Amino acid sequence: MNRRRALTLFVNTTVALIGGGLTAVLGAFAFRPSRGADTARWVRAGAVADLEPHVPVPRVLSISRQDGWYRQRARETVFLVWDGDTTVHALSATCTHLGCQVRWDADSTTFRCPCHGGVFGPDGAVVEGPPSRPLDRVDARIESAGAAGADVMTVMVRL
């Protein structure tokens, strides 16, 4: 084998190895099942003892979201409404018009959006303003999270 032939063999082998490696990496990305958007999961939203019956109480929750290859922490505000017994309802604080955060107005017993004057009733129904649909309901439940005889009733919401 002369020098020219040896060099050609070396270059061709190197190019083939690099090409094969790149193909393997790209193939792994192309054929590996991508992780879709996270499905909702139950998140602890606080103790029932901190709630007042029929008074919406805001809770800011930090949740981890993953969409494909992208992972981020997001904050969601929900209003918890306890019936004073065994049921709690949760409403998203995100206005259904353009996404501003609504606030509970105890005087008028309505949720008010500061952006365009949207008003929602205590059940989330639109009372007035530009929103065309009610506040989103969030699944919520009460769980017993006691340890060694000290029962703590905890509100869980599904985000």
**118 binds ligand FES, rule: CB under 6 A:** yes
Least distance (Å) between residue 109 CB and ligand FES: 18
Which of 59, 82, 131, 156 is in the footprint of ligand FES by CB under 6 A?
A: 131
Q: Are 157 and 90 in contact (CB under 8 A)?
A: yes
Nearest to 142 by CA among 132, 156, 131: 156
**115 binds ligand FES, rule: CB under 6 A:** yes
48/93 with CB nearer ligand FES:
93
- Full DSSP string of 63-94: EEEEETTEEEEEEEEEEEEE-SSS-EEEEE-B
Which of 56, 97, 135, 138 is in the footprint of ligand FES by CB under 6 A?
A: 97
Phi, psi torsion values for 7, nearest 5 degrees: -65, -40
The DSSP bridge pattern shows strands 126-128 and 137-138 to be unpaired
Which x/- pattern, by CB under 6 A, does the window 67-96 give for ligand FES?
----------------------------x-
Say which DSSP state 36 is in: -
Binding residues vs ligand FES (CB under 6 A): 95, 97-98, 100, 113, 115-116, 118, 129-131
